[in-house]
Structure 1
């Protein structure tokens, strides 16, 4: 694992050109990322449904993980009749309506086991999809002369909504039906709990009878990558809300059918204002150049009401940057420098094996996919700083304004401490990065975002940071020479907190992005000057190290009421565990984690072929869309 040593668019905006699609029924060549996933197989699901858990547990005790995995893979590769029927149904649907659907029909995708027509988007992202859907619907209503305004939710990044008068329901549904006949979309009534029903084909006339009385209707265009490995559906659609007219003390009002966190009612007749689409969809982030040209989703505006443009107390308006530490252990120049430093320090045998293990320096291009996860799920990040020992990944486009490569030489207060191969030392200097925002996230390259997140996952709007304690415990007592470097550093952190705040913490931190405050890190450097300086000077991980960014910052800030413990959906996987393949398949099938870490602390260079075969297809399948920081061929 490559760890450091520890112009508004047209109405069809976002709709792919015919060149991006494949004919109905045509199957694109399968890539490694498209291998049958047992966790998506109907046969495997039926096996788990029919066989009691006790029986499956008994089988697990007698049959190896490898054998069970091979059997499930065979079941997934076998003919799944239900999925085959759905695909045939979808292709019939294409042929039936192809005569009056102007847009190309790129492919049939299965969502929850059912066939849907999806549009191919070469630069597919959740935030881009939300923006495309919102602006397309606004353009349609505007062209039809139907008064409307976008509704702002209390938190950004949720399903956007458009309000129309209930009196205009018939006209709205008529034009939506025409639009879904032109560009194949889906609709569903939204319940009082905000959950939409099953998506119904909007290009089928009978569908509209099922939503004609709903006060909120979800409109969705399913979108997919060219190879079908990623599909975005209802969660990235747009709600049409029908606001009822009532008489108020000062004139007629439009009353919201659902709570939105900002207003319950607005004047029925008022001059609309224009606002950036990001106010309703969340930030759009950096754009990606594709064969179709630059998809410029920035600075689009939509119609709304002045009341819905107010800045709210919970709005996070401060910039947030991301810092990665990265090393390429396969670089022979770097490897020779490290080997010489080891010899000068008395050899690797003088340190704990985890401090010297080659797995800490192996690179499988995890950084590329971690950056893709940022692009997909955290478009609100301003700038990414990549801290390296004068190394740059060959695929990285360093000319992009959103990324900066920072040398160790630019951040270390004491140049005599370099070169260093100690992640604790490097992490102690991150707040010295020139131009770094006060609030930032620190990533290792084996940490990935797994679903759309907002800044509120990591920060409060008043500037407080969040941290994520692990249930795993730190043994009590002072550090011992036999302690792994991570445990020793945690004990050293604890001794400082005990001395300063008279409490004893026992929990480790999860392997997630660390929300940090630059000023807090500066205070730690001043308050614990001797220990901090010793950490920065240690070339390799040492029993005397502090782990400043990943632990000490959080407990120090907490005791000063500047950080709050929090929770997130998270999973940690070790490539050495025999059950990791199944867990990766499950994660790829469900995509239900906010953050996941795929760690490797014991592999050697000889293990690369085995571990690459495990992780490479998973990462390409989970993050198939190239990010803005990758060079274009």
Structure 2
């Protein structure tokens, strides 16, 4: 039956029929599409299993073998930042192959030509090496994508050169022709790959020509800021109920206060794991909350700083606030925040390795990612959603300030931001910015600053330009969601994905949470270094009881 479903489900008629099934049966189909059960038992892998760690491990395996054998080598930047490369003289090819054969089944060794095609050992120009094994439940996590590749360089002696030259077998970013007297220099991993963090250690044997950054290399720190709320926290829900009692609910605020908007499915846990896996170059993570702490977060971690709303609001605005526009209007007040940072919602999750240059240019100019969705050209209307009213307010201010028209919304992906632009907006739009901060719930006077206004403001002042990023959005309330999740966990073919649910019935939330957890644990089967080692098993967690005085969910 499994093979029949896998073979036939792609046909439109059967797929449409499957989407009409009850949720439990759709989840079963999703698991079949994923090639087997998505849920996996047992402990997840430690943080050392990350792609960045695999990059280091594979490179250190190769350099360790060469050092032990006394073979000369130097590391060069690979054209694929996910891989490392080591140059060895061509006359040592046979010796290198003998060394690798002695490693047995612990290492996967492939002999390749310059185009990456498999060839016999006698004809190879490159040898690819990586540790054997895959991620948990067979998901390909740390395979050849992070391999080390040994290149065999020829030595050439010409009369026109004072010293012999070494010539590489394939193209490289800096060049493949080096004088043998170019000095040896030990460089940090960041000089060999833009994917690697700016740790400084360990250092690898290379050449002086590779030690200096190029004009397109991002050299400044890039932080990440999250805003997060645990909507299942009884204390938070009491605060929200009291605020609603002080400011009676109207139809506009009600659009932004339903249960599904604040339901936690531990998206933050997995979004931050995705940073660990796919953006190890991030400098620091700031988590902005209403004095809430995720149960799994190690507060002593050097990687993450918890920031209270009180720290960024000061004497501006009104706390507690349940208005994301208000919180976002104060992000530039995060203490210690770098000039360049990415703003993540907790439902924004990296799906594969990304580089700093996907978000910023080396000269500091930011990128933004316009959506194909358009902002209604009409003035704000009573039926408009809160986000649309804020976009129209942004448009009016941009027209007044720069004489430009705002047409497009932004994609729901991480937002590259400049702290100085946000500070400038607060200064020049002082009244509007502080009014947004004062609204406890979404209001018709709100601005959406870091998710829209700041990008157009930066573009109008020469500090941001449009970019592109691969992404997908999955609405968990749609019937198709289980199958979309199954395909995504198999293909892993987007830079960013978002899982969201704006208006599901309460009865569906528990099943959705289980489905999301199954998917996430398959995609990210490891701990990040900021997670408590003894954290509770998320698959066994029980729902907190409803606090007295809390508003009805749904």
Pair in the same fold by TM > 0.5: yes
| 2:16 pairs with 1:66 | no
Correspondence for 1:239 among 149, 156, 159: 149
Q: Tell me the residue number matched to 2:455.
A: 554
Counterpart check, 1:589 vs 2:544: no
Instruction: Indicate the residue corresponding to 1:565 in structure 2.
Output: 466
Does 133-142 or 298-307 show the bigger shift? 298-307
CA distance in 1, matches of 2:343, 2:503: 23
Structure 1 residues 608 and 70: CA distance shift in structure 2, 3 A: closer
1:421 alignment partner, SS class: coil
CA shift at 1:460, angstroms?
A: 0.7
* 1:165 aligned to which of 89, 94, 115: 89
Shift of 1:125: 1.1
Residue 86 of structure 1 aligns with which residue? Answer: none
Any idea what SS the aligned residue of 1:356 has?
Answer: coil
Query: Which of residues 312, 316, 321 in structure 1 aligns to 2:218?
Result: 316
**Residue 187 of structure 1: aligned partner:** 110
Residues in 1 aligned to 2:23 and 2:308: alpha-carbon distance in whole angstroms:
47
The counterpart of 1:261, out of the listed 157, 160, 173, is: 173
Which of these residues, 220, 238, 253, is aligned with residue 336 of structure 1? 238
User: Cα distance 1:304–1:42, how it changes in 2: closer, same or farther (>3 A)?
Assistant: farther
* C-alpha RMSD of matched pairs (Å): 2.6
Alignment of 1:630 with 2:554, yes or no, is no
2:192 maps to 280
Q: Which moved more, 1:591-600 or 1:221-230?
A: 221-230
Among 160, 163, 169, which residue is 1:251 paired with? 163
TM-score, with normalisation over the residues of structure 1? 0.78
Q: Which structure 2 segments of 5+ residues have no match? A: 37-44, 535-554
Match of residue 271 from structure 2: 370
Mapped pair 1:443 → 2:322 = no
User: 1:517-528 counterparts in 2 under 5 A?
Assistant: 517-528=418-429
Structure 1 runs (4+) deviating above 6 angstroms are none
Moved more, 360-369 or 421-430: 360-369
1:228 and 1:64 map into 2 onto residues whose CA distance is 27
Residue 537 (structure 2) aligns with? none
Residue 16 of structure 1 corresponds to which residue in structure 2?
none
Q: 1:229, CA displacement in angstroms?
A: 4.1
SS at match of 1:411: helix
Residues 1:612 and 2:513 are matched in the alignment? yes
Distance 1:310 1:77, change over 3 A: closer
Residues 237-257 of structure 1: per-residue CA shift (max 9 Å, x gap)? 111111122223222111122
Cα distance, 1:588 vs structure 2: 0.3
The answer to whether the 8 Å contact 2:75/2:87 transfers is yes
Q: Counterparts of 1:504-523 in structure 2 under 5 Å?
A: 504-523=405-424
Match of 1:210 among 116, 120, 130: 120
Partner of 1:403: 304
Where 2:192 maps in the other structure, the secondary structure is helix
1:300 aligned residue = 202
Q: Which residue of 2 aligns with 1:222?
A: 132
Q: Give distance in 2, aligned partners of 1:228 and 1:298.
A: 33
Do the aligned residues in 1 keep the contact of 2:369 with 2:468 (CA within 8 Å)?
Answer: yes
> Please, which moves more after superposition, 420-429 or 362-371?
362-371
Once the two structures are TM-superposed, the CA of residue 282 in structure 1 deviates from its matched residue by 4.5
Partner of 2:72: 147
Compute the displacement of 1:503 (Å): 2.0
Q: Report the number of matched residues.
A: 523
Q: Give the Cα–Cα distance (whole angstroms) in 1 for the partners of residues 140 and 47 of structure 2.
A: 11
Match of 2:547 in 1: none
The equivalent residue for 1:496 is 397
